[in-house]
């Protein structure tokens, strides 16, 4: 287990939503049981669209530099996504200013040399390895967001998901990390997830936050991540999975700690 510091309207629309949800499911296979309860089986994520499609839809564009509390700076980029409401791409991230790209977060200078900040619609700020450019990201008309970004050799990956305020888009996925939510999800006929083979290792720094890790078969290092939910009248679930090889394992901690601080 990688322990983290506590610091810090139409067919076209349906197709876009499907891409987003496929990213959510890409980190594990499922086995269906009674009551629509599915079993967690870790797998390495895969893109659901072609390289040509990804380069057309998801384009990085520079927005300036992100500055951290210890005055470390790294390059920052926005990412275009397909507009879920009308034709075209969303390119909505504003250029960096002192107010939107300055973070009360300490980033080690050596690690910063290997990182960049990306801003993804419906997901917000995420740190990723600097040389990674292969990305598939989607946002839904209901505010959901998902991303899969991979290393050049596609042997390392980061996935993230945010259900926005779509209960059925978040509650069933949250049950894997927060079993206390399973009954509510089943009662609402959303289904849910269990981990009968104890593949997940979980630590709960709070009732609504889970730090987790699991081993993907035949992979040389563990996947680490964070799952969170908010339930204040609306239900919102979000998570991130970071799968890095041994040479880049030291980047997992700042990536996850920053995600924890920003979400």
Q: How many structural domains are present in the chain? A: 1
pLDDT (tens digit, 9 = 90+) per residue, 115-171? Answer: 999 999 999 999 999 999 999 999 999 999 999 999 999 999 999 999 999 999 999
Question: 76: Cβ–Cβ under 8 A, 6 or more apart, which residues?
Answer: 62, 63, 64, 65, 66, 96, 101, 116, 117, 118, 119
- Beta pairing partners, 158: 149, 242
Question: 156: Cβ–Cβ under 8 A, 6 or more apart, which residues?
Answer: 129, 132, 150, 243, 244, 245, 248
Which is nearest to 130 in space by CA: 104, 156, 105, 106?
156
H runs (alpha helix) in 140-234: 167-174, 182-187
d(CA 164, CA 161): 9
In a domain, 1, yes or no: no
pLDDT (tens digit, 9 = 90+) per residue, 19-74? Answer: 444 455 445 554 444 569 999 999 999 999 999 999 999 999 999 999 999 999 99
In a domain, 3, yes or no: no
In a domain, 258, yes or no: yes
Residue 247 lies in domain? 11-262
How much is the average pLDDT of 161-188?
Answer: 96
> Does pTM surpass 0.85?
yes
Structure token digits, residue 204: 């709960």
In a domain, 6, yes or no: no
pLDDT band per the 50, 70, 90 thresholds, residue 232 = confident
Strand pairing of 115-120 and 124-129?
antiparallel
How much is the average pLDDT of 236-255?
Answer: 97
In a domain, 2, yes or no: no
In a domain, 243, yes or no: yes
Residue 159 near residue 23 (C-beta atoms within 8 A): yes
């Amino acid at each position: 287990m990688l322990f983290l510091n506590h610091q810090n309207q139409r067919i076209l629309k349906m197709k876009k939503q499907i891409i987003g949800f496929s990213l959510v499911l890409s980190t594990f296979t499922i086995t269906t049981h009674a009551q629509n309860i599915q079993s967690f089986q870790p797998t390495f994520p895969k893109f659901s669209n072609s390289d040509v499609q990804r380069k057309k839809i998801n384009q990085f564009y520079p927005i300036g530099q992100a500055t951290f509390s210890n005055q470390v700076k790294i390059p920052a980029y926005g990412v275009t996504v397909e507009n879920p409401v009308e034709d075209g791409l969303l390119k909505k991230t504003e250029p960096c200013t002192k107010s939107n790209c300055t973070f009360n977060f300490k980033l080690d200078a050596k690690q910063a040399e290997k990182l960049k900040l990306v801003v993804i619609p419906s997901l917000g700020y995420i740190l990723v390895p600097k040389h990674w450019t292969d990305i598939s990201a989607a946002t839904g008309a209901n505010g959901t967001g998902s991303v899969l970004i991979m290393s050049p050799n596609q042997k390392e990956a980061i996935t993230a998901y945010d259900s926005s305020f779509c209960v059925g888009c978040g509650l069933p996925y949250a049950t894997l990390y927060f079993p206390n939510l399973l009954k509510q999800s089943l009662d609402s006929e959303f289904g849910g997830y269990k981990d009968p083979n104890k593949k997940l290792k979980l630590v709960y720094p709070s009732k609504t936050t889970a730090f987790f890790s699991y081993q993907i078969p035949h992979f040389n290092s563990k996947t680490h991540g964070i799952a969170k939910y908010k339930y204040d009248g609306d239900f919102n679930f979000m998570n991130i999975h970071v799968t890095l090889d041994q040479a880049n394992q030291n980047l997992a901690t700042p990536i996850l700690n920053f995600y924890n601080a920003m979400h």
